[in-house]
Amino acid sequence: MKSFMKNSKFGRGGNQGGVRANNQSVDQDNPVVTRPTPPPSNGPVQVNSNADVAVENDVAPQNLNGVEQGKIELSQDGLWFDDHTVSGNVTKSWKAHYNHPYMNFTKVPLMVRDRWFTDFKRTYTWRPEFDAKARKEFDKKAGDRLRGTLNQVYKMALHKQVSFMTDTVRAEFINKRKHPDFVKRSNQARDNRLSGQTLEKFDPGHRQGSVSTPQVVKKMAKKKDGILPTAADVYESTHSVCVGNDEVELMGDKSKKFMREYMEKLEEYKNKGIEINPDKVYLEVVGGQKKGKVYGLGSASQMYYKSDPTSQSTASSSTPSMISQLSSQVEELKKMAEENHNKVEES
């Protein structure tokens, strides 16, 4: 008998509100899709209620080493939450069940968050050792996407429809946003982000928009045949604007001051005859890790430095991490570059 699979539609755009479509292929960073193995049985139809899978004359997908068959596998050294397709499906999972005017992720009850996460797990799976990390990454990504999307909704014209909100929920949401208490907290948060600056004279930060820093790193690596760019190169790329003829210029006085200090420190080591990893110099200039993050790298910090929660200002306590530097796709590009180089030498 014939078996069939219902797959979720991936990527941005279309199917707002988490609605799924059939026969959609996935080609983002070559995700691993595991397939169930049908046993030689002519028994009745069984359906796995925990996944969008229906099997005729077959059994529901089973686990293999903790990985659910028939779903896309996530792993920290391959396809993960920094991928735009995965993060897009995080957004779809909460949009499908946004039935109350939650103002931010912290206001969402745990039971509702669990429902969003369960919806996300209908598409993706991972090894058991990644359970806690996957939930943490999901909550963070869902919180970021929820905040950004709700800000856009509030600025939209009222005659434009919001696919994941009913008219009643939208009206309640707008009333809450206009409440004096919310406006006061919002203004305070804005002032905190400005760090003493004013809107008239604001020193801008990064400029890559909604593209995550890990994605920026991977794109830069692809252009260099899979070679990981230095932390300083990433900072310069995400804090610069194009001024024409392939020339870039750093944004704001803060970025210019930081890169000047970095170059001076690099030159200091060179004059002393000390050969040192540029990424260690970068970590020294920024003052080490703070809460597991490195200034200018954000969520890409662990692609360069091992997380050390006890390190607040010591550069020597963090070393480059070679395990989670690049995704499997970038590693494959590296191999292809080597093969092409060998072919050129042979010819």
Q: Tell me: the pLDDT tens digits for 268-277? A: 998 988 888 9
**Longest distance between any two alpha carbons in the chain, whole Å:** 77
Spell out the alpha helix ranges (H) of 123-271: 131-155, 167-177, 180-194, 213-223, 231-238, 252-271
Angle, to 10 degrees, between the axis of helix 110-120 and the axis of helix 84-95?
Answer: 130
Question: Tell me, what's the pLDDT at 54?
Answer: 41
E strand or H helix at 31, and its extent?
none
Question: Tell me, what's the pLDDT at 133?
Answer: 92
Residue among 46, 37, 182, 22 at smallest CA distance from 102: 182
- Contact call for residues 73 and 32 (beta carbons, < 8 A): yes
Question: Tell me, what's the pLDDT at 331?
Answer: 57
Burial of 143 (C-beta count, 10 Å sphere; 0-12/13-18/19+): middle
Residue 279, classed as helix, strand or coil, is: helix
Residue among 181, 297, 175 at smallest CA distance from 234: 297
CA triplet 148, 154, 155: central angle to 5 degrees?
95
What residue segments make up the domains of the chain, in order of their start? Answer: 65-194, 213-303
Would you tell me how many other CB atoms lie within 10 Å of the CB of residue 66?
Answer: 12
d(CA 299, CA 215): 10
The residues that bridge with 73 in the sheet, in sequence order, are: 32, 125
Residue among 117, 79, 111 at smallest CA distance from 96: 117
Q: What would the pLDDT profile of 130-163 be if each residue is shown by its tens digit?
A: 999 999 999 999 999 999 999 999 999 989 999 9
Question: Tell me, what's the pLDDT at 307?
Answer: 63
- Contact call for residues 92 and 116 (beta carbons, < 8 A): no
Contacts of residue 288, Cβ cutoff 8 Å, sequence gap at least 6: 294, 311, 312, 313, 314, 315, 317, 318
Q: Number of helices and strands (H, E) in the chain?
A: 10, 10
Question: Tell me, what's the pLDDT at 1?
Answer: 45
Question: Tell me, what's the pLDDT at 105?
Answer: 93
Question: Tell me, what's the pLDDT at 318?
Answer: 38
d(CA 31, CA 15): 21
Q: What would the pLDDT profile of 178-206 be if each residue is shown by its tens digit?
A: 999 988 888 887 666 555 545 455 455 55
Q: Which residues of the chain have a pLDDT value below 70?
A: 1-62, 190-210, 243-246, 307-338, 340-347
User: Looking up tokens 């968050």, which residue turns up?
Assistant: 113
